[in-house]
Amino acid sequence: MNLFQAVTNALDISLAADPTTIIFGEDVAFGGVFRCTVGLAEKYGKERVFNTPLCEQGIVGFGIGAASAGATAVAEIQFADYIFPAFDQIINEAAKFRYRSGNIFDCGKLTIRAPWGAVGHGALYHSQSPEAFFAHIPGIKVVIPRGPIQAKGLLLSCIRDQNPCIFFEPKILYRSALEQVPIKDYTLPLSEAEVLVEGNDVTLVAWGTQVHVLREVVNLAQEKLGVSCELIDLQTILPWDIDTVAKSVTKTGRLLVAHEAPLTSGFAAEIASTIQTECFLNLEAPIQRVCGWDTPFPHIFEPFYLPDKWRCLDAIKKMINY
Amino acid sequence: MASIRHFCRFARSLKPSYYSSKPIIQSTRTFSVTSWHRQLYEEEEKPQFPGAKSAGYMKKLEFIKPNQYDGIPTYRVLSRKGEILEADQDPNLDEDYVVRMYKAMTTMNTMDKILYESQRQGRISFYMTNFGEEGTHVGSAAALDGGDLVFGQYREAGVLMWRGFKLDQFMNQCYGNTLDVGKGRQMPVHYGSQELNFYTISSPLATQMPQASGAAYALKRAGKDLCVVCYFGDGAASEGDAHAALNFAATLDVPVIFFCRNNGYAISTPTHEQYRGDGIASRGHGYGIYSVRVDGNDVFAVYNATKAARNIAIKESRPVLIEAMTYRIGHHSTSDDSSAYRSVDEVHYWDKQDHPISRLRNYMMSQDWWDADKEKAWMVETRENVMQAFQKAEKSLKPSPTELFADVYDEMPKRLQQQHEEMKRHVEQYKEYYPSEIYEPFRS
């Protein structure tokens, strides 16, 4: 399965297992502009998989209401870039629904899915990685998978988690990433990072597409610099797995965090600051953040904008020679 | 906000077969070229655009003017003197029921006066009265089923009062004491009750509106003969979420009553700075929603309209819009002095000449259900009840500071547990600087 098929499979399982599950958003009924909901409306009916008017604040508000009244609501925002009209519903409503009511009402059955990240030619409004905006919102969970296996397991966890979740799907991987995804129903734990490669000299942390960039960097660093890297996929941005990262940095003494989103106030800043506090005595070099530049996401300049493997490798070199 | 969906193009060409069986354009694929042409020719005089059903073409340019029609009329049942205007519109409610309505309205009025004063004395931090709008609350609430879900704005305390929310519960919330189900986290008047199906109020305006549409969708799917009612003010109706809610409710065919309290002001902003159309009710037509305008100071008109709306909502599974015309007699809130933007005479007119409570009292007196003695005794009784609840709530402790960290998520994440421990240690060390004596102790 590729990533979009893994998403469809997770949604299919959720619709089959839970009769209250509904899936809605712009253009989801015919299968979605990225094919993530293909066949679901035919299989489960137009009452359960349906188009909404083109209005993001409506989609999320509607989802909150449906979830609060007992439905498992899976809302789609067509691109993460267009989630901002729903920012108020997410930040002021979904995230605070349980807290403000003293836990007599909640919208924990809400999941918001959105295609995310660079795609080669998406420019300003089909490329954004807005996770850091949401990382500052107590009350929601933010999850980003790196491939089809994680997409299915983490999405099913989000749908079943009793808190409102935002699930960002790296759209460049929708078709390009192919894996043997288990057909059965399974979940992967939220708020747990995964150590993908063990190493001793430097800890590399990323999520989504950037994990694959850093996987190449692990090999490059070994070949060109003789440096042993430990690679961690954070997977959940909020609440994030501090322990796994801190444990790794305690061992390696060095940390590089890379993300596509702009540097200033990106989520790497939160990780760097926390790890600096947790691992002060173990750090042998300043924590490196290799990120998108502090600009809008450009069209023709995308190759220069992204935190590619050469920029990451250079940051490792700086840390080793510090 | 619209997306530039150039990514969609490749995907649309891959439509599954079920979609191509949809009507209009797709179905024409099965026609031969000649029959398609013939169809076009025969129906040439009727527009075929998919975007609107149109009566026909027009050969001369003519804009539809906003003042082309008279304003939507205002439905009323009772005259200002409390007389039934049309016998067939009389809801024929019995004495006990009407007296109960009156008592709910007047109890709220008494509670408002006492809590307003208590804020002026600095005993609670904030308050918003319901003066002049008691009829919209109780009239509509009485027409609903107790199982119907209510989403409110903040000036609908009478709905809770009707449903049986206790004076203690109102007071506990305003004081944020240990008995408040909201655990003291929100500002006063942000009530909520699970048992009474009244969703917890939040401050951001109109956010509850698309939520009401979503909740109604869930109710419909659950196959319950219930509806959702969503209250909002004329100012909130200007928010984008109001547009979202009405359009979603109409296109997704959900059983929801949108109940607008048009009281003439949004804080200081008069309605002529809020909109240029014919109020809120006129928007319903644009969304394909049944709409009506009622006299909000006429509790029977509100009752009848809500009852009928509920029937339509549930039987036809579609939204209904009610615009209740009323007047905000009190200040917007305790943080507002409304004399800065409107005349005392104007307020006086509504308070003395056209008030929902006095109108209902006149009706009750005309039926010999009420008199001056009963009024006097009831006023003494309700005042005592309010004062008792008030004093009790004031004496209660505040919840444990641990509640600051609970319910952010269903389970407290590790980082929040650590922050809780950190706060606890800090407060222990610096205890003379924190008002711990009025709170319950930290939990471990």
Ramachandran sector of residue A39 (left: φ over 0; alpha: ψ -120 to 50; beta: rest): left
Same domain assignment for residues B108 and B221: yes
- Is B118 a catalytic site residue? no
User: A281: buried, middle or exposed (CB in 10 Å: 19+, 13-18, 0-12)?
Assistant: exposed
Same domain assignment for residues B32 and B53: yes
Show residues of chain B in contact with A23, CB under 8 Å. none
Q: Within its chain, how far is the Cα of B46 from the centroid?
A: 42
pLDDT for position B43: 55
Identify the CATH number of the domain in which residue B246 sits: 3.40.50.970
Query: pLDDT band for position A169 (50/70/90)?
Result: very high
For the cut 90, the answer to whether the pLDDT of residue B20 exceeds it is: no
Q: Tell me the average pLDDT across B326-345.
A: 95
For the cut 70, the answer to whether the pLDDT of residue B7 exceeds it is: no
Beta bridge mates, B266: B269
pLDDT for position A262: 98
pLDDT for position B444: 81
Residue B280's φ and ψ, nearest 5 degrees, are: -95, -35
Please indicate whether, in this complex, the C-beta atoms of B210 and A67 are within 8 angstroms of each other: no
CB pairs under 8 A between A and B: 203
pLDDT for position B345: 93
Residue B142: inside a domain: yes
For the cut 70, the answer to whether the pLDDT of residue B32 exceeds it is: no
Same domain assignment for residues B197 and B292: yes
pTM greater than the 0.90 cutoff: yes
- Closest by CA position to A173, among listed A142, A208, A121: A208
- Is B156 a catalytic site residue? no
Please indicate whether, in this complex, the C-beta atoms of B7 and A34 are within 8 angstroms of each other: yes
pLDDT for position B70: 83
The pairing of beta strand A165-170 with beta strand A194-197: unpaired
Q: Tell me the average pLDDT across A40-69.
A: 98
- B412/B408 Cα distance (integer angstroms): 7
- Closest by CA position to A252, among listed A282, A280, A287, A219: A282
Interface mutation vs chain B, best among A18, A38, A90, A99, most B CBs within 10 Å: A99
Return all residues near A273 (Cβ < 8 A) that are at least 6 apart: none
- Is B432 a catalytic site residue? no
- B102/B361 Cα distance (integer angstroms): 7
pLDDT for position B36: 53
Same domain assignment for residues B230 and B272: yes
Same domain assignment for residues B137 and B169: yes
pLDDT for position B44: 63
For the cut 90, the answer to whether the pLDDT of residue B415 exceeds it is: yes
Q: Tell me the average pLDDT across B21-33.
A: 42
- B228/A302 Cα distance (integer angstroms): 48
The pairing of beta strand B320-325 with beta strand B290-295: parallel
The pairing of beta strand B228-233 with beta strand A165-170: unpaired
pLDDT digits 0-9 by tens, B222-274: 999 999 999 999 999 999 999 999 999 999 999 999 999 999 999 999 999 99
Decide if B291 contacts B237 (C-beta within 8 A). no
pLDDT digits 0-9 by tens, B61-93: 999 888 767 899 999 999 999 999 999 999 999
Q: Percent of chain A, pLDDT > 70?
A: 100
Catalytic residue among A26, A93, A126, A169: A126
Residue B390: inside a domain: yes
Query: pLDDT band for position B6 (50/70/90)?
Result: very low
- B86/B77 Cα distance (integer angstroms): 7
Decide if B106 contacts B324 (C-beta within 8 A). no
Please indicate whether, in this complex, the C-beta atoms of A33 and B11 are within 8 angstroms of each other: yes
* CB atoms inside a 10 Å sphere around CB A278: 17
User: B35: buried, middle or exposed (CB in 10 Å: 19+, 13-18, 0-12)?
Assistant: exposed
Residue of B nearest to A98 (CA): B407
For the cut 60, the answer to whether the pLDDT of residue B359 exceeds it is: yes
Catalytic residue among B43, B117, B422, B428: B117
Show residues of chain B in contact with A84, CB under 8 Å. 1
Return all residues near A33 (Cβ < 8 A) that are at least 6 apart: A27, A78, B5, B7, B8, B11, B12
Residue listed under structure tokens 């935190």: A307
pLDDT digits 0-9 by tens, B121-169: 999 999 999 999 999 999 999 999 999 999 999 999 999 999 999 999 9
Q: Within its chain, how far is the Cα of A83 from the centroid?
A: 14
Q: Tell me the average pLDDT across A75-94.
A: 98
**Which of B62, B77, B106 represents a domain boundary (last residue)?**
B62
For the cut 60, the answer to whether the pLDDT of residue B25 exceeds it is: no
pLDDT digits 0-9 by tens, A202-218: 999 999 999 999 999 99
Same domain assignment for residues B130 and B270: yes
Residue B75: inside a domain: no
Name the residue facing B413 among A31, A41, A191 (closest C-beta): A191
- Is B117 a catalytic site residue? yes
Please indicate whether, in this complex, the C-beta atoms of A139 and B408 are within 8 angstroms of each other: yes
C-alpha distance from B82 to closest chain A C-alpha (Å): 39
Residue listed under structure tokens 């009389």: B90
The total number of residues written for chain A in this structure? 322
**Within B62-94, where are the H helices?**
none
- B385/B191 Cα distance (integer angstroms): 19
Query: pLDDT band for position B347 (50/70/90)?
Result: very high
pLDDT digits 0-9 by tens, B377-395: 999 999 999 999 999 999 9
Q: Tell me the average pLDDT across A58-86.
A: 98
Query: pLDDT band for position B23 (50/70/90)?
Result: very low
B-facing residues of A in 19-78 (CB < 8 A) are 20, 22, 26-27, 29-35, 38-39, 41-42, 47, 50, 52-58, 60-71, 73, 78
Residue B346: inside a domain: yes
pLDDT for position B65: 87
Tokens found for residue B444? 């471990």
Residue of A nearest to B253 (CA): A47
Same domain assignment for residues B262 and B410: no
Name the residue facing A57 among B5, B210, B408 (closest C-beta): B210
CA angle A119, A123, A128 (to 5 degrees): 70
Whether this model's ipTM surpasses 0.95 comes out as: yes
Q: Tell me the average pLDDT across B427-439.
A: 97
- A65/B400 Cα distance (integer angstroms): 30
- B227/B148 Cα distance (integer angstroms): 5
Q: Within its chain, how far is the Cα of A195 from the centroid?
A: 16
Residue of B nearest to A240 (CA): B415
Ramachandran sector of residue B62 (left: φ over 0; alpha: ψ -120 to 50; beta: rest): beta
Residue of A nearest to B409 (CA): A139
Residue B74: inside a domain: no
The count of C-alpha atoms lying within 13 angstroms of the C-alpha of B321, restricted to the half-sphere facing its C-beta, is: 30
- Closest by CA position to A25, among listed A70, A86, A69: A86
pLDDT for position B54: 79
Residue B355: inside a domain: yes
Decide if B271 contacts B279 (C-beta within 8 A). yes
Q: Tell me the average pLDDT across B361-369.
A: 98
Backbone CA torsion sign across A172, A176, A182, A185: positive
3-state SS record for chain A: CEHHHHHHHHHHHHHHHCCCEEEEECCCCCCCCCCCCCCHHHHHCCCCEEECCCCHHHHHHHHHHHHHCCCEEEEECCCHHHCHHHHHHHHHHHCCHHHHCCCCCCCCCEEEEEEECCCCCCHHHCCCCCHHHHHCCCCCEEECCCCHHHHHHHHHHHHHCCCCEEEEEECCHHHHCECCCCCCCCCCCCCCCEEEECCCCEEEEECCCHHHHHHHHHHHHHHHHCCCEEEEECCEEECCCHHHHHHHHHHHCCEEEEEEEECCCCHHHHHHHHHHHHCCCCCCCCCEEEEECCCCCCCCCHHHHCCCHHHHHHHHHHHHCC
Same domain assignment for residues B386 and B412: no
Q: What integer best gives the mean pLDDT of chain A?
A: 98
The residue ranking higher by pLDDT, B181 or B46, is B181
Q: Tell me the average pLDDT across B179-187.
A: 98
Query: pLDDT band for position B28 (50/70/90)?
Result: very low
C-alpha distance from B34 to closest chain A C-alpha (Å): 30
* Cis peptide, bond prior to residue A164, ω within 30 of zero: no
- B8/A317 Cα distance (integer angstroms): 42
Chain A contact for B200, CB < 8 A?
yes
Residues of the domain holding B6: 1-62
For the cut 60, the answer to whether the pLDDT of residue B37 exceeds it is: no
pLDDT digits 0-9 by tens, A214-229: 999 999 999 999 999 9
What b/e string do you get for B115-126 counting C-beta neighbours within 10 Å, with b at 16 or more? bbebbeeeebee
Residue B444: inside a domain: no
pLDDT for position B41: 53
C-alpha distance from A102 to closest chain B C-alpha (Å): 4
Same domain assignment for residues B22 and B133: no
Query: pLDDT band for position B22 (50/70/90)?
Result: very low
Rounded alpha-carbon distances, angstroms, from residue B129 to A14, A88, B351, B360 = 46, 27, 14, 20
- When divided into structural domains, chain B yields a total of 3
- A315/A310 Cα distance (integer angstroms): 9
Same domain assignment for residues B45 and B112: no
Residue B349: inside a domain: yes
DSSP string, B177-190: -TT-TTTT-S-TT-
A-facing residues of B in 208-247 (CB < 8 A) are 209-219, 221-222, 228, 240-241, 243-245, 247
Chain B contact for A139, CB < 8 A?
yes
Decide if B437 contacts B396 (C-beta within 8 A). no
Q: Percent of chain B, pLDDT > 90?
A: 86
Show residues of chain A in contact with B16, CB under 8 Å. 30-31, 38-39, 42
For the cut 50, the answer to whether the pLDDT of residue A58 exceeds it is: yes
DSSP-assigned letter for residue B227: -
pLDDT digits 0-9 by tens, A111-163: 999 999 999 999 999 999 999 999 999 999 999 999 999 999 999 999 999 99
Name the residue facing A58 among B4, B210, B221 (closest C-beta): B210
- B256/B312 Cα distance (integer angstroms): 9
Same domain assignment for residues B57 and B147: no
- Closest by CA position to A74, among listed A35, A107, A117, A38: A107
Same domain assignment for residues B313 and B434: no
Interface mutation vs chain A, best among B20, B207, B251, most A CBs within 10 Å: B207
